[in-house]
Amino acid sequence: MRLPADWMLSVDDLEFCRQKRPDLNPQVLFKKFLSYYTVGKGKDTVRDDWSLTWREWVIREDTSIPAVKTEESWGGFMSRVANQKEERVIDAECTLLLG
């Protein structure tokens, strides 16, 4: 079956995340999980055990991408990314001009 619209994490699902991946924010990760399986690339995915799918998602979560824990911190993160891109453009322009 596809992910039911009212599917929620169980206490065991949350505890699994906290024990196996204490570096993750379960609420943020759950939003990503829901988004992927309801409107994203995984929206047509059929599973018998959504808790198992959640546990696999937790284990595979890539932490090389900075975690965003709140909506407020998202703006700060995006500002840092924009500033880094701007610095790289300026460095490239200087290299071209100065040789």
| pTM of the shown model | 0.62
Number of compact structural domains in the chain = 2
Domain that holds residue 35: 1-67
Predicted confidence (pLDDT) at residue 86 exceeds the cutoff of 60: no
Reply yes or no on whether the pLDDT at 50 is more than 90: yes
- Residue 33's Cβ-count burial label (10 Å; 0-12, 13-18, 19+) is buried
Q: Is 10 in the same domain as 32?
A: yes
Among all chains, which residue has been given the structure tokens 């001009």?
97
- Does 62 lie in the same domain as 16? yes
- Please tell me the distance from the alpha carbon of residue 67 to that of residue 48, in angstroms, as a whole number: 29
Tens-digit pLDDT profile for residues 23-36 = 888 888 999 999 99
Domain identity same for 77 and 60: no
Q: Is the pLDDT of residue 61 over 80?
A: yes
